[in-house]
Structure 1
Amino acid sequence: MFFKYNNTSWSQLDTLLAKENLTLQEVMDNEDVINECRVQNKNLIDFLLKPEVIEELVILTVKEPSVELGETTRFKYPNLASELLTCDVPAINERLAGDEKLLEKLYEFLENESPLNPLLASFFSKIMGGLIAKKTEQNWVSYQLTCLQVLDFLKARESFLPLLMKHLGTSAIMDLMLKLMTQVEGVEMRQNILNWLDSQRIVQQLVSLLNPKIEKERHDNVAQLLCDFLRIARDAQRGYGERADPDPLLNTLESPETVKLLLDQIFDNEKSESSIVGGISVLLCLLDVHQANFPGFRSVAYLMKNIYNSNLNDEDVDYEQKQRVLHSTSDAIVPKIKDFHDLLLNPPKQAPVLTTVGLLEPPVGNTRLQVVRLLSVLLGCESRRVQEELTQLGTFSVLLDLFFRYPWNNFLHTYVESCLVASLETAEGGEPNALTKHILGDCELIERVLKAWKDNDEQQELEKRARQGYMGHLVSIANHLIKLRQNSLVGDYLGEIKPEMLAALDDFKATTLTKVLEQQDKLLGGLHPNSLIEDDLGVCPLMANSALQQQTYAQFQMQDLPSQYLDTYSGLNDDVFNDGDDTLQTIDNPSDVNFDLSESDMLQRDAIFKQVCAQSINTLFDSDDQVFEERDHTFQTVIEKKDQKKGGRNNSSSSSGSDEDDEDTSPDGAEESNKMNVDPWTSPKGSPWGVASDTVTTSSANDDGWADFSSANFSELEERAASGDGKHESANTGPAVEQPSISVEGDACPVAAQTSDKESPLEKEGDKV
């Protein structure tokens, strides 16, 4: 980073540190003090490690600043002090952990009355957490030394855990507790601290804080702490696999006894929404809700079988352990299902809520919403005891009442649909069970779905009211009923108890639901993207059907144009812009681009290409202007440089047409110029390869004026070169000229350049060509 090389700031700080009677405030006023501490400036570290200085730093982080100071500067120095103490400097960490006096001053902060100053609490938690948790680049020996000393100090204080419980309403203290439970590294140290915490019944103490008599702030933080611990501990166990040591805190939290204690706390005499919601969030985390909490899931057990067995190895995840925890937790909840049912009928008091669709009195409330969410997960566990309890209580009638009473709460609709789907799917492939019969018979699910659909249609047509907010979920529920109707055993059961409802359901499917599903399945774009992919036969429909391709491209060009421009735009024609058949066509109307190329179009394209190439080459050689500023890219310039080095045997260029060649008046130069300055494009043969001798024929150019690279010509040239006769007479002038070296770039017309008779320029000049 830049401060490592900022010598100016280093010299300024070193100059300041050399001052006598220097105070800590003067050092912290330096703007680079934090950066210098991180790069471990030796003079600065020595100053900070002075007993009086480091003690002052600790006091600044835990002592409440005077209220007489301005708000902008009141916490300036405490913040700087905490940053200096947590810069991950081994010398500072070891001094803090090894000096019990300094640890005592830090510990005294917990002895203050609640609520703690949240900013100072964050400073305290940051310092203590930095001594407990290992940094990424921290030295392992240094970490073990500091962590062990701090843990021994804390374990020796009997009031430590009670004080943490007392201040859990402060988020920073909750973070410190989580670090203590999850971020101690080293097998031996981690196991020791976990065993110590479990012996102090830390899990039971945390669960007891969910009692309704405790303040709301601690309810929220305790629930968050337990959920975070569950996720981190399970991930650690899954990562270690069979090598993982048992986590006593995790085992205690997952035990049925702890679940029972949790339920007893939240269902105490009073009803507190924060207590109930916090307790349900912990129960959902115990049930692995993050794997099953979405509409239409089959079951938690089903997901566990497929997810764990297909994606993970047996040694990575103990599937039996997961199943055991799942069923033990659900069984522990069964005795309290009646209490959850009562919460649906009589939730904690809620003030009326004014919404855009009217006054909700009472509103659904977070309590009832979380209860329905918990029931949807319990039903997915496929526990027979849960199904029987819900059937006896008539819970599904209450769920359907809430579903239709609050038509705009889609969270509620999602969880109710999940409850119904999980319950109805238990009857698929077999005889309808007691829960299915209860839902179809006692709860009259089919009748209520059909009635709600009819009422919605009447309200839209007659009263011009908006479509009900639960209609999308109603379509999904109706689909599941149709699938259930196709089950022969369930169909026979419905035919026995409610034949008229069975007929009404069939009529609803034929007249209404089918049209709705077709409309929902209709592609908005009109063309499925899969049509652009080759089918099993290897034929792409768009590529095989040119008319379809033309239509699709035209629609793509028109899709963003306003309607008032479509008529004018579509009326344009490419023929308006065509001057004739000899010019290239322009695409000014993309909607009329024709992707079909006939044979005549291909021939015309080739002719135009040849014509343009010929015009460009003639222009290149006939122009008086210099085309290239750097002429090292041609064979002739290589020859010139070579000849100049040899004393100027060749003083002219055969094809450049430069002014220097025109000014050369020496006889030798003129004679050589006449030999070399032959225009290949105006030769009698009309070809740049018009070079012939008694052994080399002049048929190297075909009738079109293009070079003929037949094997005969090249073989003759090779034989001539092998015989040592490097020169032959020109077909135009008669005198001997040097044998040409041929250069071809791409498909353009070739350019002839002549080489020396002694040494190839390609061999001499190398990469210059």
Structure 2
Amino acid sequence: MEEEDVLQECKAQNRKLLFWKFDLNNTSHIDQLLDREGVTLRELMEEEDVLQECKAQNRKLLLFLSKDHCMLELVTLITEEPPSDLEEKTRFKFPNIACELLTSDVALINDKLGGDESLLEKLYHFLEQEPPLNPLLASFFSKTIGNLIARKTDQVISFLRKKHNFISLVLNHIDASAMMDLLLRLISCVEPAPLRMEVLNWLNEERLIQRLTELMHTGRDEERQSNASQTLCDIIRLSRDQANQLSEVTEPDPLLAVLESQENVAELLKNMFEGERTEASVVNGTQVLLTLLESRRSGLEGLMDLYSQGCERSYTVNSSILRAIEPHLKDFQQLLLNPPMRSAILTTVGVLEQPLGSARLHVARLVASLLQTCDLSICQEICRLNTMDLLLDLFFKYTWNNFLHLQVELCVASILNHSAHADLQNPGLQNHEERPLFQHCQLVQRILDAWEENDKIQAEGGRRRGNMGHLTRIANTVVQNLEKGLAHSQMNDLIKELPEDCRGRWESFVGDTLRETNRRNTVDLVSTHNLHSSSEDDDMESPFPNDLSIQQAFSDYQIQQMTANFVDQFGFNDEEFSEHDENINAAFDRIAEINFNIDANSAAFEACCKERIQQFDDCEEEEDIWDEKEINYATQIKARSRYSTWMIYSSWTASFGETEVSSSSSWGGPPQQGGEGPQDTSWTSFTEFQPFIV
């Protein structure tokens, strides 16, 4: 045979070998086991692909698993403790496999498990054990029952409703998070809508919400308190989401109605403050209140609403919630003054003898949420208690706690915006929130004193304080409301009432210090580092035209958002990482809206293509993927160069909102006029571009 024929034959054999290597038609070893008499369930579960075969609807395997003795053994495995003398790493091997088989969403197994009451009784018996449950077995049980609730809804709901102690048993084991998941599945996984409403009414008749609220009492176990709090929060969110999505349901959610009732909120607050006030009871109870008060997207987007719309877009919180909270504002005030004791902690900036603590942080979050509701009675009570004065004290005391700084900033923004709207709606009514903020709280003086003290610390070689970014935004908020806010005339009157020396310091601060800080923050963030090419033109200018600055793409507010997050020593706030993860990129949303439309100068572009890019030859022999080739880096460099040529000889247009800016035909040079070609034909290497650094 010719040498070329031998090579082709070898390639053909290689293809055959690869085909048989990946052939999936081999007989399963499980089928061989099932053909053998006396095979046991444990032998099948030892096979690595048993779950895969089950989900692949292996008929032999499914018929075997659905036998009465096999189903009973599977249920036993997930509800009874395995022998304690087994090795820990293998002790729960079979219970885990059993759970996966039972929840593999195979109709034959679902029908068998959901339709056999003896198996359901065996499952239910797991709840009748004394607490605490094995957390792993509890998760297997919850997952199995949850799957049946979704797949065999009628049978399972009918079975559970006959068990009068079902809710009591679940709540008895609420310290296991799996029981919390089971309750949420009952609320969210039942379809169709009429059946779901039946389940909600049943749970309401069982007084589920009231019993969960009772678990929030200060004397309860902390794990039970925490899980009960999380369950209530999830029920609130699920109920509201489903009410918005299911437009055909006209009947109100009974669980949500109880949760938002004044009686239940009052009972929750009573449980929080009755007896010894522990940090756990305050935090867990306040989390439920915050969820009830959720009115808009939290974090940066919520702050943007405050800056731009004020109270115009506020969600109308059920007034019964606010009326229940109002009498207890004095109790939250006492928590700011005398929080639950905490031990000193070691931080990266030294020992903190008296930490702020979660209790006071949650009180700050609650005050910020209450102010955002723009409820006049609530705002007046907060003003009467001088709560803002205490929060500002904490703001300047705990200079490294950015979680707290954000809440105080939200409070200030809420007061200024609420005051503006109140003044417009009641021109004859003197405002009762804004005046104390400037007079009793001495906001302007505090800003000036803190700024000067920070400058002194830095001048002596110290570290910039961690609250300066948020302090900058608070100062900018005041200035914006003074200049163009809805109540700027009233605010200017308050500034005029300040002592003469303070007014002079403020005017100098706004005109020089704050203006320079804003300019420096903006420029440093976007203009310090330019892109550089690796071409021979080392002195080439920035690839963007000189008159184009990134700040054109951002509103002043967005730059302030970016500035504070970076300047505050990378101290992230908890709102930005709460249940909605996408908030972290909220400040950069406008970047994604920039549309780049690349439109080649036709004459220059076509000339370049003809010179640099080879045309495809349709008659060229198809490349054989089996050929072994030596890697030729020159080819890759040439391909990259073609792409670089296209980029260099192309003109591009960037749209920033209403502004449209065109680049030059060659990177960094002036825009070409008419149809003239570029003068600079140097190559650009994209591999050595420096990244933007902010």
TM-score by length of 2: 0.69
In the other structure, the counterpart of 1:164 is: 170
Change in Cα spacing, 1:34 to 1:519, as seen in structure 2 (3 Å) is closer
Change in Cα spacing, 1:500 to 1:301, as seen in structure 2 (3 Å) is closer
Identity rate of aligned residues, in percent? Answer: 41
In the other structure, the counterpart of 1:418 is: 410
In the other structure, the counterpart of 1:202 is: 208
Instruction: Check conservation: 1:300, 1:381, Cα contact below 8 A.
Output: no
Distance, in Å, in 2 between the alignment partners of 1:280 and 1:298 is 23
Distance, in Å, in 1 between the alignment partners of 2:272 and 2:373 is 23
Instruction: Check conservation: 1:292, 1:377, Cα contact below 8 A.
Output: no
In the other structure, the counterpart of 1:350 is: 342
Q: Specify the SS of the correspondent of 1:133.
A: helix
Matches within 5 A, 1:266-277: 266-277=272-283
Confirm whether residue 406 of structure 1 aligns to residue 398 of structure 2: yes
The structure 2 residue matched to 1:18, chosen from 35, 41, 58, is 35
Distance, in Å, in 1 between the alignment partners of 2:79 and 2:543 is 71
Larger RCO (CA within 8 A; separation ≥ 6): 2
The structure 2 residue matched to 1:50, chosen from 67, 70, 79, is 67
Q: Specify the SS of the correspondent of 1:359.
A: strand
Distance, in Å, in 1 between the alignment partners of 2:306 and 2:75 is 54
In the other structure, the counterpart of 2:181 is: 175
In the other structure, the counterpart of 2:541 is: 551
Change in Cα spacing, 1:492 to 1:79, as seen in structure 2 (3 Å) is closer
247-256 vs 364-373, greater mean Cα deviation: 247-256
Distance, in Å, in 2 between the alignment partners of 1:93 and 1:176 is 18
The structure 1 residue matched to 2:473, chosen from 468, 471, 476, is 476
What is the CA distance between 1:162 and its match in structure 2? 0.7
Matches within 5 A, 1:457-472: 457-461=455-459, 463-472=460-469
Change in Cα spacing, 1:302 to 1:16, as seen in structure 2 (3 Å) is same
One-letter identity of the residue aligned with 1:105: K
Matches within 5 A, 1:538-577: 551-553=541-543
Confirm whether residue 110 of structure 1 aligns to residue 111 of structure 2: no
One-letter identity of the residue aligned with 2:61: L
Q: Specify the SS of the correspondent of 2:121.
A: helix
One-letter identity of the residue aligned with 2:371: L
Q: Specify the SS of the correspondent of 1:465.
A: coil
Q: Hey, which bits of structure 1, 4+ residues long, moved more than 6 A?
A: none
Change in Cα spacing, 1:447 to 1:54, as seen in structure 2 (3 Å) is same
Confirm whether residue 376 of structure 1 aligns to residue 376 of structure 2: no
Matches within 5 A, 1:116-155: 116-134=133-151, 146-155=152-161
RMSD after superposition: 3.3
In the other structure, the counterpart of 1:331 is: 323
Distance, in Å, in 2 between the alignment partners of 1:457 and 1:326 is 46
Change in Cα spacing, 1:453 to 1:108, as seen in structure 2 (3 Å) is same
Distance, in Å, in 1 between the alignment partners of 2:513 and 2:126 is 69
Distance, in Å, in 1 between the alignment partners of 2:36 and 2:250 is 55
What is the CA distance between 1:203 and its match in structure 2? 0.9
Deviation string 1:132-171 (CA, Å, 9 cap, x unpaired) is: 014xxxxxxxxxxx32121121111122111100111111
The structure 1 residue matched to 2:222, chosen from 213, 216, 219, is 216
Task: State the number of aligned residues.
Answer: 519
Deviation string 1:280-304 (CA, Å, 9 cap, x unpaired) is: 1121111125524447455599578
In the other structure, the counterpart of 1:437 is: 435
What is the CA distance between 1:78 and its match in structure 2? 1.2
Distance, in Å, in 2 between the alignment partners of 1:464 and 1:498 is 32
Q: Structure 1: which 5+ residue stretches go unaligned?
A: 135-145, 308-321, 530-546, 557-601, 613-627, 633-769
Matches within 5 A, 1:354-369: 354-369=346-361
Distance, in Å, in 2 between the alignment partners of 1:152 and 1:22 is 36
Change in Cα spacing, 1:158 to 1:515, as seen in structure 2 (3 Å) is same
What is the CA distance between 1:522 and its match in structure 2? 2.8
In the other structure, the counterpart of 2:93 is: 76
Change in Cα spacing, 1:276 to 1:439, as seen in structure 2 (3 Å) is same
Change in Cα spacing, 1:469 to 1:631, as seen in structure 2 (3 Å) is closer
Instruction: Check conservation: 2:399, 2:465, Cα contact below 8 A.
Output: yes
Change in Cα spacing, 1:79 to 1:517, as seen in structure 2 (3 Å) is closer
Distance, in Å, in 2 between the alignment partners of 1:305 and 1:426 is 10
In the other structure, the counterpart of 1:67 is: 84
Change in Cα spacing, 1:155 to 1:401, as seen in structure 2 (3 Å) is same
What is the CA distance between 1:330 and its match in structure 2? 2.3
One-letter identity of the residue aligned with 1:374: L
Confirm whether residue 98 of structure 1 aligns to residue 90 of structure 2: no
User: Rg bigger for which structure?
Assistant: 1
Distance, in Å, in 1 between the alignment partners of 2:457 and 2:464 is 8
Distance, in Å, in 2 between the alignment partners of 1:378 and 1:102 is 50
Distance, in Å, in 2 between the alignment partners of 1:13 and 1:444 is 78
Q: Specify the SS of the correspondent of 1:369.
A: helix
What is the CA distance between 1:180 and its match in structure 2? 0.8
Change in Cα spacing, 1:72 to 1:525, as seen in structure 2 (3 Å) is closer
Confirm whether residue 511 of structure 1 aligns to residue 501 of structure 2: no
Distance, in Å, in 1 between the alignment partners of 2:311 and 2:511 is 37
Instruction: Check conservation: 1:298, 1:425, Cα contact below 8 A.
Output: no
Instruction: Check conservation: 1:423, 1:435, Cα contact below 8 A.
Output: yes
What is the CA distance between 1:328 and its match in structure 2? 3.1
What is the CA distance between 1:511 and its match in structure 2? 3.4
Change in Cα spacing, 1:69 to 1:276, as seen in structure 2 (3 Å) is same
What is the CA distance between 1:426 and its match in structure 2? 2.9
Q: Specify the SS of the correspondent of 1:354.
A: strand
Distance, in Å, in 2 between the alignment partners of 1:89 and 1:492 is 73
Distance, in Å, in 2 between the alignment partners of 1:172 and 1:520 is 48
One-letter identity of the residue aligned with 1:35: Q
Deviation string 1:199-241 (CA, Å, 9 cap, x unpaired) is: 1111111111111211111222222222222222212111122
Change in Cα spacing, 1:503 to 1:296, as seen in structure 2 (3 Å) is farther
One-letter identity of the residue aligned with 2:541: Q
Q: Specify the SS of the correspondent of 2:130.
A: coil
Distance, in Å, in 2 between the alignment partners of 1:241 and 1:631 is 61
Instruction: Check conservation: 2:311, 2:417, Cα contact below 8 A.
Output: no
The structure 2 residue matched to 1:8, chosen from 22, 26, 29, is 26
Instruction: Check conservation: 1:331, 1:385, Cα contact below 8 A.
Output: no
Deviation string 1:287-336 (CA, Å, 9 cap, x unpaired) is: 125524447455599578549xxxxxxxxxxxxxx62x443322321111
One-letter identity of the residue aligned with 1:8: N
Instruction: Check conservation: 1:414, 1:473, Cα contact below 8 A.
Output: yes
Distance, in Å, in 2 between the alignment partners of 1:526 and 1:40 is 60
What is the CA distance between 1:502 and its match in structure 2? 2.5
